[in-house]
């Protein structure tokens, strides 16, 4: 993992030293404060456009890795991008911060500053038409940090074992007795769903997926739901309680 991160940071470092060896990247002053990062107006536009370049490549890379449902994409973005600590891990391996004029307060968000400078640099690469490097450092970010969010997928293909694991993970969150039931329809494609049942609650759809054949779709659905539950950013709300009917006196 460390080797992969060094490969990305070295690309950034080489770019910086090739174009800005002893010169600031931008003459305006940045203010790093606890409340946020304040940029000059021109640099603010550079940041926004660089951020757009990164976001487009971030989601494209997720799709390349078959993470194409919107919920999983949102969870990945929240964990890897909204939490800026990963950008600090990347930026601290370069001399990027020293090449900006920055006024530091006694306390400031290091991760947010790192992300801001990273996006500004992406826009600088665009101005130099170095789209290949934009791809390398954007896709490389996802390739390096995504495995920390999604641990290695289980190779278990025993449905009974996967079902027990799924029930265990849900109980861990809800602390109630429950069971998981399957439902599927077959036509041209397979429509497979998993429902949770618990005494005192209405049954609730956990996940639904489609596929070409039943067996791989069934297996994929269990593994996908287990993967989501192992993600601390994933929220699984309790199902609706069954209303208790009052007995007429």
Q: Mean pLDDT, consecutive 10-residue segments, the chain of 249 residues? A: 74 86 76 90 93 97 86 89 90 81 88 92 95 95 86 66 92 92 91 94 93 90 90 86 67
What own/partner pairs with CB < 8 Å and gap ≥ 24 does 198-205 have?
198/174, 198/239, 200/241, 200/242, 201/176, 201/238, 201/239, 201/240, 201/241, 201/242, 202/239, 202/240, 202/241, 202/242, 203/239, 204/239, 204/240
pLDDT at residue 59 in the model = 96
The pTM (predicted TM-score) of the whole model is 0.64
Alpha-carbon distances, residue 69 vs 96, 147, 167, 208 (angstroms): 35, 17, 23, 11
Half-sphere exposure of 55 (CA within 13 A, CB side): 10
pLDDT at residue 165 in the model = 92
**Domains of the chain, residue spans:** 2-149, 159-229
pLDDT at residue 6 in the model = 84
- Considering the domain delimited by 159-229, tell me its CATH architecture: 2-Layer Sandwich (3.30)
pLDDT at residue 3 in the model = 56
């Amino acid at each position: 993992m460390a080797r992969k991160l060094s490969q990305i940071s070295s690309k950034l470092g080489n770019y910086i030293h090739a174009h800005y060896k002893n010169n600031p990247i931008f003459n305006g002053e940045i203010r790093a404060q606890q409340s946020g990062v304040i940029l000059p107006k021109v640099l603010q536009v550079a940041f926004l456009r660089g951020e757009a370049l990164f976001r487009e490549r971030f989601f494209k890379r997720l799709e390349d890795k078959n993470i194409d449902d919107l919920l999983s994409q949102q969870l990945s973005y929240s964990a890897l991008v909204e939490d800026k600590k990963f950008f600090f891990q990347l930026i601290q391996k370069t001399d990027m911060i020293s090449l900006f004029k920055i006024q530091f307060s006694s306390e400031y968000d290091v991760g947010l500053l790192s992300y801001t400078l990273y996006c500004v640099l992406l826009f600088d690469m665009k101005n130099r038409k170095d789209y290949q490097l934009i791809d390398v450092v954007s896709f490389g970010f996802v390739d390096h940090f995504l495995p920390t969010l999604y641990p290695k997928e289980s190779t278990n293909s025993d449905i009974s074992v996967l079902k027990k694991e799924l029930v265990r993970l849900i109980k861990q969150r809800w602390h109630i007795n429950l069971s998981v039931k399957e439902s599927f329809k077959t036509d041209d494609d397979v429509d497979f769903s998993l429902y949770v049942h618990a005494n005192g609650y209405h049954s609730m759809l956990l996940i639904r997926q489609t596929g070409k054949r039943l067996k791989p779709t069934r297996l994929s659905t269990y593994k996908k739901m287990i993967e989501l539950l192992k993600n601390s950013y994933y929220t699984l709300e309790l199902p609706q309680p069954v209303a208790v009917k009052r007995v007429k006196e």
